[in-house]
Amino acid sequence: MTTVTHPPKKGYRTIRLPLAESEYDRFLSDRSYAKARLDELYEDFPELFPEAFPWGYALYGFTEPSIKLDICCRRIRLEQGQAVFTIVPAFVMPYMTGRTQEVDDAFFLMRFNVPCWAIAHVFGRDAMYWYRLEQSLGRLSIVGTTVKSHACLPKDLVADEKHSWLKGQRVYIATTAAKDCILGASVAQSASQKDLEKAYGVFASEARALIVLAGKQGRCGLCS
């Protein structure tokens, strides 16, 4: 599984919010409605927003329309720090690769190891499209996505290897968990110390990246 184990230079500048497609045109065209919805969503889901959001922000134009979906996104600029964030609706996949509703059934079948060529036969496009879409789900850091503050990193962890199979070969899933939440799950090709240290090292790298990123931004966000 591919993961992000280093902090981005400018931090994560995307805020993904549960905006319905039925309201999205109004969210883009009506400034008053957009600000009201942002304030409302902040009250409901503060963990999705940067910590400096309640200190004030301004609507800051739009992104260029996506070539793939012809959808543009609003941007906001925070008054504290002047950082610019892009507001992305949750009804689209990352990188505007498709609408979540259109790929939901295909992802369900992928859980049962249905090959990409069969997915393409049923849902259209080609096998590589579905392969890339599935692979993109592993690009984000598990720790950075789950824990919104380095201060909330648990002091006590549980680590264990779960046996599984990959292309007919036995592998070991190096799993790290705390507080009923999985924080790491990386594949080790064998039970050797070298392979297990490498697999568990993904969690360690993501945890360190969260701490470094918080230090660069001067903030630590909110717990989920």
pLDDT block averages, 10 residues each, the chain of length 224:
47 83 95 95 86 91 91 93 91 88 92 92 93 78 65 81 86 87 86 90 80 51 35
* Residue-level pLDDT at 24: 95
* Residue-level pLDDT at 109: 94
Tell me which DSSP letter residue 117 carries.
Answer: H
* Residue-level pLDDT at 153: 75
* Residue-level pLDDT at 84: 93
* Residue-level pLDDT at 144: 61
* Residue-level pLDDT at 6: 47
Contact residues for 141 (Cβ-Cβ < 8 A; gap 6+)? 3, 4, 5, 206, 209, 210
pTM exceeds 0.85, yes or no:
no
* Residue-level pLDDT at 212: 64
* Closest-CA residue to 85 (of 55, 62, 69, 54): 62
